[in-house]
Amino acid sequence: MTSTTAIMSNTSSTSGTSSTSGPSSTSPASPTPLPSPTPPASSAPPPASASSAAASPGPATPANWSALVSAALLGTERRTPPVAMRSGQAGAAALLDAAAVSTVRRRAALRPAPAGERPAPAPADPRPPLPPAARRRLSLLLADRGGAGGSSRRGTAPDLTELLPQWLAAADGYGYRAPEALLPELLDAARARTDLRPAALALAGPRALWLARLNDEWKFALRGIGGPAGLPVGDDPEGVRQQWEEGLFAERVALLTALRRHDPPAGLALLATTWPRERAEDRLMFLDSLREDLSAADEPFLERALSDRSRNVRATAAEFLSTLPGSAFAARMAERAHTCIGLDRTSGTTRIVVEAPHECDAAMQRDGVAPKPPSGRGERSWWLGQLVEATPLDSWRERFGGREPAAIVALPVADDWRTELHDAWCRAAVRQQSADWARALLGAPGAPSQTAEVSPAGSSRDLTKLLAVLPGDERARWVAEFIAAHGLSDAFRMLGVCAVPWAEPLGRAVVDALDIARDAGSYPWSFSGVMGLAERCLDPAAADRLDMLTAVTDEPEGASPGSGGYWSEAFQRLVGTLRLRATMRAELMPPPAAPAPAGETGETGRRTP
């Protein structure tokens, strides 16, 4: 009677919750109410042998709930359980097993069905696991990612949401693998924030791709960064062709990108096979896939693209050709630009004179020169700017008598063409990644008139893009000197392109400028963007020397009310975040290697005593 008691208890505990959601042999939209757990009083139990023969299902058929209840009420001695029993298994045990399975199925409102095919096992990930402290830290960072972040918040607690990207990048540097239990949360975080995807997918490894194939919400991981894992880009030309012709657009872009990295000529040949049949917007995306590994071998294809039906495709092809200094396109643009710009020595001082084009002919338009200027721009200056930015910068040395970029930039320009000409040179320096020209066009950061000089009225130049062309240490020094001379108001975007953690001169310049702003009585949220960058980008080693800034200071006359307390909170949060970053970095350090046991062979090859 043990089995009877167990089933009766189970029935009474689940009948209330299962009565409207249990399995039914009729329409799924109209579930049949469950039968009463006890048979009617007038029903006489059939003989054991007849009941067993009639109710015993085949091995693949789930037992009917009412038959299970009947067997439990009568006892397994009187009625054989209507289930398949394993060899040597007692009837009561088989009945309890079947009741447990059926109870779970009833609670889940799941109809009996054959079991689905099991997925293939997840691939092995041989990388070392995270140290225990780092694993707990990752769990906390992922749990906090949905919280309200932002550097404008009050309080002194660090913003864990903004520390997650740094943690992921540091963990990837050590070659760790993510804990299997945290892979779903890691994939959710990467789905929500595209900036996390490269580092998150690298840490998650092949098992994340295995999971992504089972969940449509994680399909982005299959595209990967620069191409999905397992793309047929090696020795499988038939697989490449099939994926290219039959894949979705995102899959085709990823395939082309991956193939270009693996074999640039093969990627270009693949694109050429379907290029005339592609839509204009698709051609533009495919063309952009050539940017990373652009070489002289791509010139013939890009020359043909200059005659494309799409204006955007023509413009992109012209941009790419202008980065190939030896291309025929670059020579044509240089010839046009040099006829418009030259030196004038007749006035007693050498200066640059400009004669902008008077028309935009068909040949210029084929080479990507847009004939219609944007609102507020003159036609001739618009055409001139496009010619200059597409001209190889090295060609100006010869045009200006062998002068270096700094000497060319220092030359006076006649007739107020200086801003237009220098803006075009700035765009060319960024496009051609010329540090010499970027350095010359930026000039000295500490000059008193530097702000007006590098960004005059009507200028379209972007100092941030110019700075990104410089080497990292030189970039940090330039921005530090700029902040020391001009403050933080114009430096926020410049700070965003500096390497992390900030070099000592840059970090010191930022902290000094914040301290000056506090002494002036300004509200700290006027500098919330810079403060948020400092929390993520300052060297954690600076935390101890910043402790003195956490005290509440006397507010100067005319200061914003309560600014001293707000600044104290902001600096406390800054110091706390820097110390947390230092702790996170220490947690990621691999454990020290265990010393060799006594008697093992030492470095000298002799046995240690």
Quick one: which of 73, 70, 36 has its CA closest to 50? 70
Structure pTM?
Answer: 0.71
Distance CA 31, CA 64 (A): 15
Specify whether the CB–CB gap between 228 and 213 falls below 8 A.
no
- pLDDT reported for residue 141: 94
Residue 112 banded pLDDT, cuts 50, 70, 90: low
Specify whether the CB–CB gap between 143 and 188 falls below 8 A.
no
Residue 55 banded pLDDT, cuts 50, 70, 90: very low
Specify whether the CB–CB gap between 324 and 296 falls below 8 A.
yes
CA trace torsion 107, 113, 114, 116 (10° rounding): -70
- pLDDT reported for residue 459: 74
Q: In residues, how long is the chain?
A: 609
| Burial (0-12, 13-18, 19+ Cβ within 10 Å), 285 | middle
Residue 405 banded pLDDT, cuts 50, 70, 90: very high
| Res 605 pLDDT > 50 | no
**From 21-30, 269-278, 418-427, the region with the lowest mean pLDDT:** 21-30
Better pLDDT: 518 or 5:
518
Side-chain-side CA neighbours of 17 within 13 Å: the count stands at 12
| Res 255 pLDDT > 50 | yes
Q: pLDDT tens digits, residue range 367-378?
A: 999 999 999 899
Identity (one letter) of the amino acid at 609? P
Q: pLDDT tens digits, residue range 200-249?
A: 999 999 999 999 989 999 988 886 544 444 456 556 788 888 889 988 88
- pLDDT reported for residue 16: 42
Better pLDDT: 21 or 147:
147
- pLDDT reported for residue 600: 52
- pLDDT reported for residue 235: 62
Better pLDDT: 487 or 357:
357
- pLDDT reported for residue 56: 40
| Res 178 pLDDT > 90 | yes
Q: Residue 35 carries which DSSP code?
A: P
Q: What is the mean pLDDT of residues 74-80?
A: 82
- pLDDT reported for residue 19: 38
Identity (one letter) of the amino acid at 152? S
- pLDDT reported for residue 113: 72
| Res 543 pLDDT > 50 | yes
| Res 156 pLDDT > 80 | yes
- pLDDT reported for residue 576: 95
Longest dimension (CA), the chain: 126
Residue 251 banded pLDDT, cuts 50, 70, 90: confident
Specify whether the CB–CB gap between 141 and 164 falls below 8 A.
yes
- pLDDT reported for residue 50: 37
**From 206-215, 408-417, 446-455, 567-576, the region with the lowest mean pLDDT:** 446-455
Distance CA 111, CA 24 (A): 7
Better pLDDT: 559 or 550:
550
| Res 591 pLDDT > 50 | yes
Distance CA 27, CA 589 (A): 59
- pLDDT reported for residue 455: 61
Beta bridge partners of 601: 607
CB atoms within 10 A of CB 596: 11
Distance CA 22, CA 24 (A): 7
Better pLDDT: 544 or 25:
544
| Res 31 pLDDT > 80 | no
| Res 410 pLDDT > 60 | yes
| Res 414 pLDDT > 50 | yes
- pLDDT reported for residue 595: 65
Residue 110 banded pLDDT, cuts 50, 70, 90: low
Quick one: which of 16, 5, 35, 160 has its CA closest to 96? 5
Cis peptide bond upstream of 501, omega within 30:
yes
Q: What is the mean pLDDT of residues 115-142?
A: 92
| Res 457 pLDDT > 80 | no
Q: What is the mean pLDDT of residues 65-69?
A: 83
| Res 285 pLDDT > 60 | yes
- pLDDT reported for residue 222: 80
| Res 475 pLDDT > 70 | yes
Distance CA 534, CA 574 (A): 7
**Is the backbone of residue 532 left (phi > 0), alpha (psi -120 to 50) or beta?**
alpha
Better pLDDT: 504 or 148:
504
Better pLDDT: 503 or 153:
503
| Res 29 pLDDT > 80 | no
| Res 128 pLDDT > 60 | yes
DSSP string over 88-108: T--HHHHHHHHHHHHHHHHHT
| Res 465 pLDDT > 90 | yes
- pLDDT reported for residue 609: 36
Better pLDDT: 32 or 268:
268
Distance CA 520, CA 510 (A): 15
Quick one: which of 414, 415, 410 has its CA closest to 400? 410
What's the whole-number average pLDDT of the chain?
Answer: 82
Q: What is the mean pLDDT of residues 505-516?
A: 93
| Res 52 pLDDT > 50 | no
